[in-house]
Structure 1
Amino acid sequence: MTNAPPAAQPLPDLPSGRFSGREAFMQLVRDGLATAARDGWSEIVVSDANFHDWPLGELAVIESLQQWAHSGRRFTMLACTFDEVIRRHARFVRWRGTWDHIITCRRSPSADPLDLPSALWSPAWVMHRLDPLRCAGVSGVEPERRVLLRESLNEWLRSKSSPGFPSTTLGL
């Protein structure tokens, strides 16, 4: 008898096309991060006004991020504010502290929350929530979709944001 863990369920290919609804959105985030771990994506960029309805605090999401995280990988977060992340996603905050050396967090506090892209970008696949209030958007692997979203995110990261969400808070 062995103590080997049960075989992992194979992940389906990530979907392309439209999605709608909070559960569909959350499942895309879970599946995207699980695929990142499985396929070894070199970079992940996540962006949202506040990450309120992202499943970042779920154990399965943290396990995917833990499997994904290696030296040489990059994880970038962009938000108007990280208050909701700190308040709602304690597991993620702990993971973020451990992997600070591969994580960049940027904030844009004066941005209109509806203007900031709500998205998960990778070199292989993207998910873009075009209507955050209704959790409706598109996902896919098309190069044009990935390039356009990355250009938009780069603009926010370079000229419309500043460092934010430190991994530790220094104080007296």
Structure 2
Amino acid sequence: MNAGSALLDSRAAFQGAVLGAFDAAIARGARRIVCADPDFAEWPLDDASLHERLLPWLKLPQRRLLLLAADWSVLPRRHPRFVAWRTPWAHAVEGWAPAEGDEAELPRVLVDDGDVFVHLRDAEHWRGRAGRDAVEAQRWRDALDGRLERAQPAFFLRPLGL
């Protein structure tokens, strides 16, 4: 990804931007990547090459991938390889559910701790922006950090009660 931002206008562009943002964040040595979506149904999380690229990053000290979703029931059905891949990395790949009242208007966004961001503003028409912009990334970090402070743990390795 080059500095600045690019407009997203299709499902393929969004998924490519997400993969590119992961690559950019990993390449710049990000310590934290935060992803938010109502359910992650359309994210390319089952991409085996993404898992391969995330592994060396997760092995570095203090690396965290935080996922914030309102509905965690979709992930095992849409992304079973990701769910299985994540099992040994549950300490670093965390799942969170927004606090009551925060689930409405949950943005579709990926942001690292630097300048990398992807924001899908209109999921019906696949409109959004992605790129490298420190101001935009900071705006998304601020918005998501507040939600994460109020969030509850989710995306458990085993269903509760078993």
Common fold by TM > 0.5: yes
Aligned to 1:61: 50
Aligned to 1:5: none
Residue 137, structure 1, aligned to residue 140, structure 2: no
User: What is the alpha-carbon distance in structure 2 between the residues aligned to residue 103 and residue 42 of structure 1?
Assistant: 12
Where does the alignment leave 5 or more consecutive residues of structure 2 unmatched? none
Q: CA deviation at 1:15?
A: 6.2
**Counterpart amino acid of residue 15 in structure 2:** M
Aligned to 2:69: 79
Residue 63 of structure 1 aligns to a residue whose secondary structure is helix
Aligned to 2:105: 115
Aligned to 1:155: 146
Contact kept? 2:4, 2:133, Cα under 8 Å? no
Q: CA deviation at 1:150?
A: 0.8
Aligned to 1:32: 21
**Counterpart amino acid of residue 108 in structure 1:** P
Q: CA RMSD in A?
A: 2.2
Amino-acid identity (%)? 29
Q: CA deviation at 1:170?
A: 6.0
Q: CA deviation at 1:26?
A: 0.4
Residue 37 of structure 1 aligns to a residue whose secondary structure is helix
Aligned to 1:167: 157
- Report which structure shows greater RCO (CA 8 Å, sep ≥6): 2
Where does the alignment leave 5 or more consecutive residues of structure 1 unmatched? 1-11
Q: What is the TM-score with the length of structure 2 in the denominator?
A: 0.87
Q: What is the TM-score with the length of structure 1 in the denominator?
A: 0.82
Match of 1:21 among 4, 10, 26: 10
Say which structure is richer in strand.
2
Residue 67 of structure 2 aligns to a residue whose secondary structure is strand
User: What is the alpha-carbon distance in structure 1 between the residues aligned to residue 38 and residue 126 of structure 2?
Assistant: 13
